[in-house]
């Protein structure tokens, strides 16, 4: 039996201060901003940090897994089952090397695209049928240095545009909560983020 009017939004990242400002932690940054916007805070829970907020008649459960990126699936499966979330009401937010910085894409389902966190979620859920927000971080790294790149801090030039990207992603989360994935994809896919007009 699924819980009515309940959404689970999981932002991916790594716990610890040394990872806080890295590209890999953009999922954490988005759910942090979403919680802050609604006056909610995170509390330590099993396999992660949880925040709860209400938007109209919807209960939103925000999750930051504490299992580190490559084991995100363990945390998401636990809270997915605990909260009795319908599969269509799970949204995962992650960084994406395949997208340029300043682009955000929403998908209803799909593969991991080489992202270890998403791959682990697919393995634990035994399904790739969950919605995800892919936030572009670019791929400006030398071959063989992908891990160093995703775990490095944002450049000064990137920091100036990061706020708009995060705000855009928070709007996506709110739309997903109130309108579902199809309407959210129609509204936001292809939408240009302010500051990235060309």
Active site residues: 24
d(CA 133, CA 39): 23
Determine whether 187 is exposed, middle or buried from the number of CB atoms within 10 Å of its CB (0-12, 13-18, 19+): middle
Sheet strand arrangement including 131-136 = 43-45, 48-55, 58-65, 6-11, 90-96, 131-136, 104-107
Q: How far apart are the first and last CA of the chain?
A: 47
Strand partners, 58: 55
């Amino acid at each position: 039996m699924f819980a009515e009017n309940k959404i689970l939004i999981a932002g991916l990242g790594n716990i610890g201060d040394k990872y806080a400002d890295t590209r890999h932690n953009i999922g954490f940054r988005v759910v942090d901003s979403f919680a802050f916007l609604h006056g909610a805070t995170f509390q330590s829970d099993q396999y992660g940090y949880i925040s709860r907020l209400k938007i109209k008649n919807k209960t939103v459960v925000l999750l930051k897994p504490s299992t580190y990126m490559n084991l995100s699936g363990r945390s998401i499966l636990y809270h997915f089952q605990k909260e009795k979330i319908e599969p269509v009401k799970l949204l995962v937010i992650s960084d994406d090397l395949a997208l340029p910085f300043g682009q955000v894409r929403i998908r209803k389902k799909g593969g991991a695209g080489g992202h270890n966190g998403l791959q682990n979620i697919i393995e634990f859920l035994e399904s790739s049928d969950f919605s995800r927000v892919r936030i572009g971080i670019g791929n400006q790294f030398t071959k063989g240095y992908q891990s160093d790149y995703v775990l490095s801090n944002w450049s000064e030039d990137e920091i100036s545009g990061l706020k708009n990207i995060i705000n855009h992603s928070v709007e996506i989360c709110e739309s997903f909560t109130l309108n579902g994935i199809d309407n959210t994809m129609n509204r936001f896919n292809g939408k240009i983020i302010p500051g990235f007009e060309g």
